């Protein structure tokens, strides 16, 4: 069963150098932090979502649909209680709900979902190993890059083990189809023991296996994957940088894209 | 001398007994060594002591020396030893590190600082060697168990160290895959490299140069492979499987049984009267085949979410009450996926699976668990309780069953699995074989009509394999329907009443086991290689594949008269 989010395809984004993808993702993250107006964030979010859909990665969106919906609605509902605006729209008990804070909540929801979409575009088009190689090429130390790559690698492994453990428990009558949160907690505690045992054993074995194949974080090594910055990489970085600069210009010099001034 | 052990002893920290005791051996380059022995004999520890994992990673009381190409292992790091010794672990799944097949093979080569061109050459060569060339770009998480084992082997072989150690590298491979991997022996011999394999099936180690048998941490016997394999009392006393065709030839009065199928036929022709016009056997279909179907697959197709590739392609199958079914086939052919449909863990993307006439889609999970139990390959994915009693009663407690009934059911399940008296022990402290039986008992306590077991004998030594299979046979006699997925062909040949052979998501052949194993051509096309005795039975066209019954059959029909020459030869 496939649990990792990487999609083996030949899209233009797949063909970009991982450094380009890392730098562009960071720039786009910053762009999403510049505005707190829902329309401006929507203008950033829409083309990103289109990219994801254009490359037929909608199964990823489908898999994460509940997370995305929860993120958006939690932001929309919770932020208005914590951020003050100017025009009171209505009251909930003794709490005033401002028009601006409602927009701000909406903007924060879009921002979070935008972060997820940027992340999805990145992980669905970049192998863990490419991320590691990219970080090394960007000047990060090898042990740090290797640790990031390993952490990313272990996520799908643990998810895979968790799926098998859940299947094993279902096979002897464990029922997850309950809405009682206490029962769910009890069920999760049952799953936790074998998951913990499996995680410890696998991590131990992984350490053994790495050493047995001559791995040493400080030793010199060669690289199998070739990283090469091509003109299309430079064009991509330049384009995303232009978007970032344009966003900064709108916010800093023209004061656009803000519903609540003084907040990110 | 490539590898030598001098009075090597090792005891793991906080353990009472020695894992290795007074080990002495000298193995030269260009040779192939098989290590055999019972569970806990010290085979894996011996492997670890060759590349330095013992004593550098696993700490304990260490004395004596292991020397590999002039380097004393204790005085060198594991990373340094990795340049001389390649090790394929028994637990191959956790050995796989990368997200992509080619990158997994390249990982060790990067550590050796090889140039990119050389890495590319070796990646291609060794992936082709283990039959994974077509899967070069695949995500490792999507590989089947056997494919992962092939990948683990390729990633070690590619490092081309002078010593290759493989700890039970064939456990999850289909029979043809096993033979392909063992062919590495010739290549390594030509390259003057040493091959050390831990393997417990004698038929797989016939072609090795030497066999060393371990018992309770010591070398118990050693010698030329052909001599050791023929020493039936020695094999039996070490808890190692005796090839069944030896029993057949011993039964016929031959002191020196032939090793291979070809030798067997030659001997039968030379020494016995064989009727050249043997009849084709007719099978008496046992009455249970006519019973009602308990599980029915109707044109079942299945793809995993997010994948367009079909893993099952139009399966039509009926499992009847009282069946004992073995599912065999090549790695990645869809055996586990098929079995998971039978208890509703997976639902078809097209078609339907009916359990007792009702679609699995309309069952609740716990309802199905009471009818169809599924024992997973790895018992550690299941065990979660502090005592064996709690573990075995887990499912019953979940279902809210009365305490008195729970106690009775647990007692019965423990008795059947040979675990009576283990109630208050911690399941985590038991051996792998015992944990596997605990996992089985916890499903049995639910008294499911159908019991599915995924590779029930993997990781067990021969004595425990027989115990496990005899237990299943007993359950089947009590009326349980048993379905096993196995790569262990002797298990299917000996115990299954019916066999299903799969390839590429389809059922290529199914029927009574004798009939299925008579069709060697289809079996081979599905990467299933019958045992030597089965091939002899097919040559003789006997109804049975069991040695004693075959002899009886041939004698009763007057077709086999020892001491006379075959007139047709």
Whole-Å CA distances, B524 to A85, B171, B263, B286, B463: 76, 19, 21, 27, 28
Q: What percent of chain B has pLDDT over 70?
A: 94
Name the more confident of B96 and B224.
Answer: B224
pLDDT at site B1: 66
Q: What is the mean pLDDT of residues B197-211?
A: 91
Restricting to B residues 356-395, those with a Cβ less than 8 Å away from any Cβ of A are 364-366, 369-370, 373-376, 378, 380-385, 394-395
A179 in reach of chain B (CB within 8 A) = no
Instruction: Please report which confidence band the pLDDT of residue B561 belongs to, taking 50, 70 and 90 as the band edges.
Output: low
pLDDT tens profile B503-539: 999 999 999 999 999 999 999 999 898 999 999 999 8
Average pLDDT over residues B81-87: 94
pLDDT at res. B444: 84
Which of A33-37, A41-45, A86-90, B428-432 has the weakest average pLDDT? Answer: B428-432
> Which residue from B124, B218, B380 is spatially nearest to A198, judged by alpha carbons?
B380
Contacts of B53 in chain A (CB under 8 A): 208, 211-212
Residue B274: pLDDT band (50, 70, 90) is low
Give the bridge partners for A90, in sequence order.
A97
Contact yes or no for A2 and B340 at CB 8 A:
no
* Three-class DSSP category at A89: strand
Q: Tell me: cis bond preceding B354? Omega within 30 of 0 counts.
A: no
Which residue, among A150, A172, A196, would best test binding to B if mutated, counting the most B CBs under 10 Å from its CB? A172
The pLDDT of residue B116: 93
Instruction: Return mean pLDDT, chain A.
Output: 85
Chain B CB contacts of A128 under 8 Å are 98-99
Residue partners of B168: CB distance under 8 A and separation at least 6: B90, B198, B199, B200, B459
Q: Per-residue confidence at B280, pLDDT binned at 50, 70, 90?
A: low
| Chain A positions in Cβ-Cβ contact with residue B73 (cut-off 8 Å) | none
The alpha-carbon radius of gyration of chain A (Å, integer) is 22
At residue B569 the predicted structure's pLDDT band, cuts being 50, 70 and 90, is very low
* Residues found in chain B: 569
> Where does B69-199 show beta strands of DSSP type E?
71-72, 85-88, 163-167, 194-198
Q: Is the pLDDT of residue A9 over 50?
A: yes
Task: Report the gap between the CA of B82 and the closest CA in chain A (Å).
Answer: 5
pTM above 0.90, yes or no: no
The contacts of residue A71 (CB under 8 Å, 6+ apart) are: A109, A112, A113, A116
Q: What is the pLDDT of residue B566?
A: 43
DSSP-H helix ranges across B272-420: 335-342, 365-371, 388-398, 403-416
Which among A153, A161, A172 has the least Cβ separation from residue B395? A172
**Six-digit token string for B457:** 């004998």
CA distance A118 to chain B (A): 20
* B105 closest CA partner among A205, A142, A158, A224: A224
How would residue B462 be classed by pLDDT, with cut points 50, 70 and 90? confident
- The reply to whether A195 touches chain B by the CB within 8 Å rule is no
More confident residue, B504 or B569: B504
CB-CB contact of A213 with B95 (8 Å): no
Contact A129 B345 (CB under 8 A): no
How many Å apart are CA B371 and CA B451, to the nearest integer?
8
Q: Name chain A contacts of B396, Cβ cutoff 8 Å.
A: 173
Reply yes or no on whether the pLDDT at B279 is more than 60: no
pLDDT at B565: 46
Strand extents, DSSP E, B310-357: 310-320, 324-329, 350-355
* B161–chain A Cβ distance below 8 A for any pair: no
Judge whether A217 is closer than 8 Å to chain B, CB to CB: no
pLDDT, residue A90, reads 84
Using CA coordinates, name the residue in chain B closest to A175: B366
Two tokens at B358? 């009702």
State the average pLDDT over residues B199-225. Answer: 92
Do the beta carbons of residue B182 and residue B207 sit within 8 Å?
yes
Q: Is the pLDDT of residue A183 over 80?
A: no
B residues 490-549 lying closer than 8 A (beta carbon) to A: none
The reply to whether A14 touches chain B by the CB within 8 Å rule is no
Which one, of B33, B55, B30, lies nearest residue B213 by Cα? B33
The confidence score (pLDDT) of residue B567 equals 38
Which residues on A lie below 8 Å from B97 (Cβ)?
153, 206, 209-210
Which residue of B142, B365, B483 to mutate against A (max A Cβ within 10 Å)?
B365
DSSP string covering A199-244: HHHHHHHHHHHHHHTT--TTS----SS-----HHHHHHHHHHHHHH
Average pLDDT, chain B: 88
The pair of three-digit structure tokens given for residue B467, joined into one six-digit string: 């115990």
Q: Which residue has the higher pLDDT, B388 or B540?
A: B388
Share of chain B above pLDDT 90, in %: 54
pLDDT at B305 over 90: no
The burial of B113, by beta-carbon neighbours within 10 Å (0-12 exposed, 13-18 middle, 19 or more buried), is given as exposed
Q: Which 3-state string (H, E, C) describes B444-480?
A: HCCCCCEEEEECCCCCCCHHHHHHHHHHHHHHHHCCC
Alpha helices in B319-461 (DSSP H): 335-342, 365-371, 388-398, 403-416, 432-444
What's the burial of A137, exposed, middle or buried (CB within 10 Å: 0-12/13-18/19+)?
middle
Confidence of residue B88 (pLDDT cuts 50, 70, 90): very high
Asked if A128's CB is within 8 angstroms of B382's CB, the reply is no
Residue B241 is classified by DSSP as: P
Q: What is the DSSP letter of B90?
A: S
Contact B261, B250 (CB under 8 A): no
| Nearest chain B alpha carbon to A220 | B113
Task: Judge: B89–A191 Cβ closer than 8 Å, yes or no.
Answer: no
> pLDDT category, A220, cuts 50, 70, 90?
confident
**Searching chain B, which residue's CA lies closest to the CA of residue A205?**
B94
Question: What residue in A sits closest to B447 (Cα-Cα)?
Answer: A172
Q: Is B356 exposed, middle or buried (0-12, 13-18, 19+ CB in 10 A)?
A: middle
Is B141–A156 a contact, with Cβ atoms under 8 angstroms apart? Answer: yes
Per-residue model confidence as pLDDT tens digits over B344-358 = 999 999 999 999 999
Q: Can you point out the beta strands (E) in chain A?
A: 88-92, 95-98
Judge: B345–A170 Cβ closer than 8 Å, yes or no: yes
What residues of chain A, 67 to 126, have a C-beta less than 8 Å from chain B?
A: none
Token output for B569: 């030869």
Report which secondary-structure segment, H or E, holds B243: none
Instruction: Say yes or no for a CB contact (<8 Å) between B345 and A6.
Output: no
More confident: B342 or A91: B342
Q: Closest Cα to residue B395, out of B380, B410, B408, B381?
A: B410
Helix (H, G, I), strand (E, B) or coil at A86: coil
Is the per-residue pLDDT at B284 higher than 70?
A: no
Contact residues on chain A for B446, CB-CB shorter than 8 A: 172-173
Cβ-defined contact of B340 to A167 (cutoff 8 Å):
yes
pLDDT of residue A8: 76
**Is ipTM beyond 0.85?**
no
How confident is the model over B467-492, as a mean pLDDT?
92
Neighbours of B402 (CB within 10 A): 9
Residues B27-37, mean pLDDT to the nearest whole number: 93
pLDDT band at B568 (very low <50, low <70, confident <90, very high): very low
The pLDDT value given to residue B562:
52
Element (H, E) at B137: none
- A174·B100 Cβ contact <8 A: no
């Amino acid at each position: 069963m496939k649990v990792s989010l990487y999609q083996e395809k030949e899209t233009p984004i797949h063909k970009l150098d991982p450094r380009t993808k890392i730098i562009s993702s960071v720039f786009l993250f910053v762009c999403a932090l510049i505005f707190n107006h829902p329309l401006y964030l929507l203008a950033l979010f829409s083309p990103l979502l289109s990219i994801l859909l254009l490359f037929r990665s909608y199964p990823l969106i489908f898999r994460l649909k509940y997370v995305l919906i929860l993120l958006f609605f939690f932001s929309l509902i919770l932020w208005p209680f914590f951020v003050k605006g100017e025009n009171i729209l209505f009251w909930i008990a003794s709490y005033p709900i401002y028009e601006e804070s409602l927009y701000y909540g909406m903007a924060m929801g879009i921002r979070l979902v935008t972060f997820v979409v940027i992340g999805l575009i990145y992980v669905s088009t970049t192998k863990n190993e490419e991320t590691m190689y990219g970080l090394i090429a960007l000047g990060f130390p090898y042990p740090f890059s290797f640790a990031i790559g390993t952490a990313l690698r272990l996520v799908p492994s643990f998810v895979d083990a968790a799926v098998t453990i859940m299947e094993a428990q279902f096979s002897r009558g464990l029922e997850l189809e309950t809405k009682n949160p206490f029962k769910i907690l009890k069920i999760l505690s049952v799953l936790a023991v074998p998951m913990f045992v499996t995680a410890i054993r696998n991590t131990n074995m992984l350490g053994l296996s790495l050493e047995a194949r001559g791995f040493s974080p400080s030793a010199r090594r060669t690289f199998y994957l070739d990283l090469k910055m091509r003109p299309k990489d430079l064009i991509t970085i330049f384009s995303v940088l232009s978007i970032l600069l344009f966003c900064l210009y709108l916010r800093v010099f023209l004061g656009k894209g803000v519903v609540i001034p003084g907040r990110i | 001398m490539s590898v030598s052990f001098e009075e090597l002893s090792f005891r793991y920290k906080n353990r009472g007994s020695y894992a290795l005791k007074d080990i002495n051996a000298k193995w030269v380059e260009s040779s192939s060594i098989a290590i055999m022995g019972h569970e806990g004999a010290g085979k894996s520890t011996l492997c670890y002591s060759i590349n330095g994992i013992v004593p550098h990673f696993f700490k304990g009381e260490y004395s004596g020396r292991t020397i590999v190409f002039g380097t004393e292992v204790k005085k060198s790091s594991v990373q340094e030893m990795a340049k001389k010794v390649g090790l394929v672990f028994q637990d191959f799944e956790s050995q796989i590190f990368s997200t992509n097949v080619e990158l997994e093979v390249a990982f060790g080569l990067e550590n050796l600082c090889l140039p990119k061109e050389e890495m590319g050459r070796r990646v291609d060569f060794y992936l082709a060697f283990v039959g994974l060339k077509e899967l070069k770009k695949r995500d490792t998480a999507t590989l089947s168990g056997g494919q992962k084992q092939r990948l683990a082997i390729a990633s070690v072989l590619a490092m081309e160290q002078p010593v290759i150690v493989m700890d039970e590298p064939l456990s999850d491979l289909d029979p043809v895959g096993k033979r392909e991997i063992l062919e590495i022996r010739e290549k390594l011999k030509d390259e003057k490299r040493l091959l050390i394999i831990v393997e417990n099936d004698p038929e797989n180690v016939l072609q090795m140069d030497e066999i060393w048998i371990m018992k309770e941490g010591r070398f118990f016997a050693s010698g030329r492979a052909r001599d050791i394999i023929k020493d039936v009392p020695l094999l039996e006393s070490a808890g190692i499987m005796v090839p069944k065709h030896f029993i057949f030839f011993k039964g016929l009065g031959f002191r020196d049984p032939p090793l291979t199928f070809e030798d067997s036929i030659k001997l039968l022709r030379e020494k016995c009267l064989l009727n050249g016009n043997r009849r084709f056997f007719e099978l008496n279909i046992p009455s249970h085949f006519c019973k009602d179907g308990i599980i029915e697959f109707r044109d079942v197709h299945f793809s995993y979410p997010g994948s367009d590739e079909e893993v099952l392609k139009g399966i039509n199958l009926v499992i009847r009450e009282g069946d004992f079914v073995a599912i065999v086939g090549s790695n990645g052919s869809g055996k586990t996926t098929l079995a998971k449909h039978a208890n509703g863990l997976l639902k078809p993307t097209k078609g339907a699976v009916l359990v007792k006439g009702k679609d699995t889609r309309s069952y609740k999970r716990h309802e199905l668990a009471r009818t169809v139990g599924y024992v997973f390959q790895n018992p550690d994915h299941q065990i979660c309780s502090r005592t064996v009693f709690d573990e075995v009663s887990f499912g019953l407690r979940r279902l809210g069953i009365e305490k008195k009934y729970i106690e009775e059911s647990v007692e019965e399940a423990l008795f059947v699995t040979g675990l009576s008296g283990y109630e208050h022990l911690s399941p985590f402290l038991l051996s792998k074989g015992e944990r596997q039986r605990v996992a089985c008992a916890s499903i049995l306590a639910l008294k499911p009509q159908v019991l599915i077991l995924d590779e029930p004998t993997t990781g067990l030594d021969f004595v425990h394999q027989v115990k496990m299979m005899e237990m299943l046979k007993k359950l089947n006699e009590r009326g349980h329907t048993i379905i096993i997925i196995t790569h262990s062909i002797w298990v299917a040949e000996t115990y299954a009443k019916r066999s299903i052979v799969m390839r590429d998501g389809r059922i290529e052949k199914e029927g009574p086991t004798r009939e299925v194993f008579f069709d060697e051509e289809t079996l081979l096309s599905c990467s299933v290689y019958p045992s030597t005795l089965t091939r002899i039975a097919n040559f003789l066209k006997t109804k049975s594949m069991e040695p004693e019954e075959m002899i009886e059959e041939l004698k009763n029909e007057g077709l086999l008269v020892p001491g006379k020459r075959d007139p047709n030869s």
